[in-house]
Structure 1
Amino acid sequence: MTAAMPSSPPDAPDAPTPTAAAGAIDASKIYGTGDAQVKALDDVTVAFEAGKFTAIMGPSGSGKSTLLHCLAGLDTLTSGATYIGDKYLAKLSDKELTELRRTDVGFVFQAFNLIPTLTAEENIKLPMMLGGETGDVAWIDQVVTAVKLQGRLKHRPSELSGGQQQRVAVARALASRPKIIFADEPTGNLDSETGAEILDFMRRAVREFGQTIVMVTHDPSAASYADRVVFVGDGKIVGELINPTADQVIDQMKQHGS
């Protein structure tokens, strides 16, 4: 944690109101100094409801990935606060933050981020193995079946297609039943059919399993799978849609110059 980052906004309570799974309060992130200074986030306040699938959209350089990374505790703010559940991230020690990310947060990245020497099954169980736990076997079996990986568990990533590797990554994110999953362009490296299957499963995870997912995407079709789309522009929240269609997302992006 950087010393410059406040533990919470000056007028904030000791803990966030636990109605949202995660969120940001007066969040700003500045990179560089002087003429080279870039304000990636500009006083953003936003909350992400538990049990919902939210997409974050915006043009390149809008701050959408910075917002996701700060929400997930992968990056720190210059000012303001981010929280997961009832915990302000800046109030946690490095050890506590690492533990929170392992137990309460799932991650899905565009690049899959699998361990090449581990089998699909070992990659799925990795977050729990790191904590010396076995996890809920029945739940893990349900997740594996839902992402159609039953016959591929003993295969290493190099023996799997890109779509299968992303299925492993999604299953890994769900396996420990985290409070929230952050997904950064999870279908960016996949063909449209495979991407649609991944997104359909993520939507099912929210509706059938009560999961909470926050996803950054540039794809209006991907965003249409979400319950809500939050639009970011020049480091600010510039709009949102509830129960969006792809066409509505495109129209909104045009309005904001995306």
Structure 2
Amino acid sequence: MTTMTAARTAARVVDAVKVYGAGDTAVRALDGVSVDFPAGRFTAIMGPSGSGKSTLTHCAAGLDTLTSGSAWIGGTDLSSLDDRRLTLLRRDRVGFVFQAFNLVPTLTVAENITLPLDLAGTRGDQEWIDALIDVVGLRDRLHHRPAELSGGQQQRVAVARAFAGRPDVVFADEPTGNLDSRSGEEVLGLLGRTVRHTARTVVMVTHDPVAAAHADEVVFLADGRLVDRMESPTPERILDRMKALEVPS
């Protein structure tokens, strides 16, 4: 396994290129992107449709492989891992929150939260899980099943599940896409609180300037390239930047 000891980051890609297809039909989804996601921070990724947002997160998380360049989780180069070790890394060091909640309908809230740990044959850190349940506000719902919860509550279960194994980084792909505005606001506030209270790291793909404004920083992509980074974002500043990116050159 290859390691590095550069500045502390939860995840990064270096000179990342991802090409789908070949010849005249080839699509260059990522075109030499280098970006780091600092540990203990909430980072949003934005850009016009087709800019490479989801491709970047999938490659950074080890769900997809780069055509060239490298992707790292902490000090581990993902390209140095065989399939088994990559699977173990994703299980032990990476969490995921998707637009679809992906809860198991026959399991209770408590069972859904600990499902990845149960599948790995470990109990995990029970004190951590107990504190996490309070952070996401699910103490009175632990014995309910997903069908008995609202959409916002189901996504809170998904967030708790993603953090249950104390991963280095949680990747969230449009986590509020299936929620109404109030529920979405609750989940975004929850992600921010979880980062602050647990010192974990979140990288979120979103198309919504209001959602992105919950992050500490926004990374902007266009045509598969990194074009800007914005600290302390506001919805208005983000919207102005997105409008500029969407104007034909």
Q: Per the shorter chain, which TM-score range?
A: over 0.9
Q: Paired residue for 1:219, among 185, 201, 208? A: 208
Distance between the aligned counterparts of 1:16 and 1:98, measured in 2?
23
Q: How does 1:36-75 map to 2 (within 5 A)?
A: 36-75=25-64
What is the number of residues matched between the two proteins?
A: 247
- Is the contact made by 1:16 and 1:83 (CA closer than 8 Å) also made in structure 2? no
Distance between the aligned counterparts of 1:88 and 1:122, measured in 2?
32
Q: What is the aligned partner in structure 1 of residue 95 from structure 2?
A: 106
Listed as ranges, the gaps of 5+ residues in structure 1 are 1-6, 8-12
Distance between the aligned counterparts of 1:85 and 1:166, measured in 2?
26
Q: What is the aligned partner in structure 1 of residue 234 from structure 2?
A: 245
1:150 positional shift: 1.5
1:243 positional shift: 0.6
Q: What is the aligned partner in structure 1 of residue 78 from structure 2?
A: 89
Listed as ranges, the gaps of 5+ residues in structure 2 are none
User: Aligned to 2:221, what secondary structure does the other structure show?
Assistant: strand
Q: What is the aligned partner in structure 1 of residue 221 from structure 2?
A: 232
1:89 positional shift: 0.5
Normalising by the residue count of structure 1, what TM-score does the alignment of the two structures yield? 0.92
Q: What is the aligned partner in structure 1 of residue 121 from structure 2?
A: 132
Distance between the aligned counterparts of 2:43 and 2:101, measured in 1?
20
Distance between the aligned counterparts of 1:158 and 1:77, measured in 2?
38
1:117 positional shift: 2.2
- Is the contact made by 1:18 and 1:85 (CA closer than 8 Å) also made in structure 2? no
- Is the contact made by 2:135 and 2:194 (CA closer than 8 Å) also made in structure 1? no
Distance between the aligned counterparts of 1:219 and 1:228, measured in 2?
14
Q: What is the aligned partner in structure 1 of residue 132 from structure 2?
A: 143
What's the Cα RMSD here?
1.5
Greater than 6 Å deviation, 4+ residue runs: none
1:79 has 2:68 as partner: yes
1:159 positional shift: 2.2
Deviations 1:217-249 (A, max 9, x none): 000000000000000110000111001011010
- Is the contact made by 1:16 and 1:87 (CA closer than 8 Å) also made in structure 2? no
- Is the contact made by 2:152 and 2:186 (CA closer than 8 Å) also made in structure 1? no
Q: What is the aligned partner in structure 2 of residue 178 from structure 1?
A: 167
Normalising by the residue count of structure 2, what TM-score does the alignment of the two structures yield? 0.95
Q: What is the aligned partner in structure 2 of residue 163 from structure 1?
A: 152
Q: Which amino acid aligns with 1:34?
A: G
Deviations 1:124-166 (A, max 9, x none): 0011112211122222122112212112212222222211110
Distance between the aligned counterparts of 1:18 and 1:101, measured in 2?
22
Q: What is the aligned partner in structure 2 of residue 3 from structure 1?
A: none
Q: Percent identity at matched positions?
A: 59
Q: Which amino acid aligns with 1:114?
A: L
Q: What is the aligned partner in structure 1 of residue 11 from structure 2?
A: 22
- Is the contact made by 1:18 and 1:86 (CA closer than 8 Å) also made in structure 2? no
User: Aligned to 1:204, what secondary structure does the other structure show?
Assistant: helix
- Is the contact made by 1:15 and 1:87 (CA closer than 8 Å) also made in structure 2? yes
